[in-house]
Structure 1
Amino acid sequence: MVSLEEIIRGRRSIGKVKNEPVPKELIEKMIEAAVWAPNHFATEPWKFVVMTGEGRRVLGQAYADIAADTMQELSEEERALRLEKEVAKAYRSPVVIAAVCVPSDAPRVDAREELAAAHAAVQNLLLMAHASGLGAVWRTGDPAYHPKMKAAFGLAGREQIVGLIYVGYPDMQPSAGKRVPGTEKTAWLEG
């Protein structure tokens, strides 16, 4: 059995995956791991939208709608090619999970802590993907935060996407990980 330390140290962003279906049970296992992330006041400030098959078209169309705003100077042919490439982004893996922060409106809740909890949920999800033999990459960037992306997923109020997680069986060899040792990033205040 692989230890938790090995899972944490072995997880890498896997951007190239096979176009093979991923069993629903594995995706549900990843999401179940995600919902066990720490969160202040037990608000559980997250929800997940799982896209497979043509369900990924919602994401692809959002990418295209966002990109269309910047294509005024392109010819019709160039525009069509670019929009096709934008839609194709949603099909880079057989499963895409939109992780959404749903912050509580309770007066004592700090929105920053809600975001931190949603990010922790994504990390749990990624660790479970790796432990399950899957490859995953957490994508964000300007399109993820764009109002048109929010609208595509029917998000309201302060709800926001914190990540688009592309999941599948790895089709690449990840690079070796390297980190500065924790001891070099730690200050001890002792009495």
Structure 2
Amino acid sequence: MGTLEEIIRGRRSIGKVKSDPVPKEVVESLIEAAVWAPNHFGTEPWKFVVMTGEGRRVLGQAYADIAAETIQGLSEEELALRLEKEVAKAFRSPVVIAAVCVPSSEPRANPAEELAAAHAAVQNLLLMAHASGLGAVWRTGDPAYHTKMKEALGFAGSEQVVGLIFIGYPDMPSPVGKRTPGTEKTVWLES
């Protein structure tokens, strides 16, 4: 598995994965890692929707429905092809996990902190995926935040999709990472 530092430094977004299925218990271990993210007041403001097989069609149809709102001037045949491409996006990996922030009713909970906790949960999930030999990419963008996406996933209140995580066994080399050293991004205030 490697040391924690190796896992953190080695994780990269892997967008090209094999179609081989990922065992359910492996997916469950990723979510179990996610739920150990820090969260103020113990609110645990997250839910996960796991899509595999034909279950990914829910996501694909949401992509198509969202795209259809803005597509204009295409023939019926061109529109059908375009919407088919939108549906196909959901099938880029054998597993897609929608991570959703579900704000609690805890009066002391700050909405920004609830979102931060959900994002931390996604990071835990990504690190566990890498440590498990999987490739993963955290996708967002306008469709992820669209009301129709939320509704397609079964949410109707103050919930917010924070990411669509595409997961599978890597089918590409891991990109080389580069970061500015932390010392260049740090200010020390000392006595």
**TM-score, scaled relative to structure 2:** 0.99
Please name the residue that 2:144 is paired with: 144
Gaps of 5+ in 2: none
Structure 1 stretches of 4+ with a deviation exceeding 2 A read none
Instruction: Describe the SS at the equivalent of 1:99.
Output: strand
Please name the residue that 2:41 is paired with: 41
Identity across aligned pairs (percent)? 82
Supply the distance in 2 between the matched residues of 1:7 and 1:54 (Cα, whole angstroms): 32
Pairwise CA distance, 1:174: 1.9
Please name the residue that 1:87 is paired with: 87
8 Å contact from structure 2 (residues 43, 106) kept in 1: no
Counterpart check, 1:155 vs 2:160: no
Counterpart check, 1:185 vs 2:179: no
CA deviations on 1:43-77 (whole Å, 9 max, x unpaired) are 00000000000000000000000001112311111
Map residues 22-171 of structure 1 onto 2, 5 A cutoff: 22-171=22-171
Instruction: Describe the SS at the equivalent of 1:100.
Output: strand
Supply the distance in 1 between the matched residues of 2:79 and 2:180 (Cα, whole angstroms): 44
Please name the residue that 1:16 is paired with: 16
Supply the distance in 1 between the matched residues of 2:153 and 2:176 (Cα, whole angstroms): 36
Pairwise CA distance, 1:157: 1.5
Supply the distance in 1 between the matched residues of 2:148 and 2:50 (Cα, whole angstroms): 18
Residue type of the alignment partner of 1:26: V
* C-alpha RMSD over aligned residues: 0.7
Supply the distance in 2 between the matched residues of 1:128 and 1:154 (Cα, whole angstroms): 26
Instruction: Describe the SS at the equivalent of 2:71.
Output: coil
Instruction: Describe the SS at the equivalent of 1:98.
Output: strand
Pairwise CA distance, 1:105: 1.8
Residue type of the alignment partner of 1:161: V
Instruction: Describe the SS at the equivalent of 1:138.
Output: strand
CA deviations on 1:113-143 (whole Å, 9 max, x unpaired) are 0000000000000000000000000000000
Instruction: Describe the SS at the equivalent of 2:55.
Output: helix
Supply the distance in 2 between the matched residues of 1:135 and 1:100 (Cα, whole angstroms): 21
Residue type of the alignment partner of 2:65: D
Residue type of the alignment partner of 2:79: R
Residue type of the alignment partner of 1:50: V
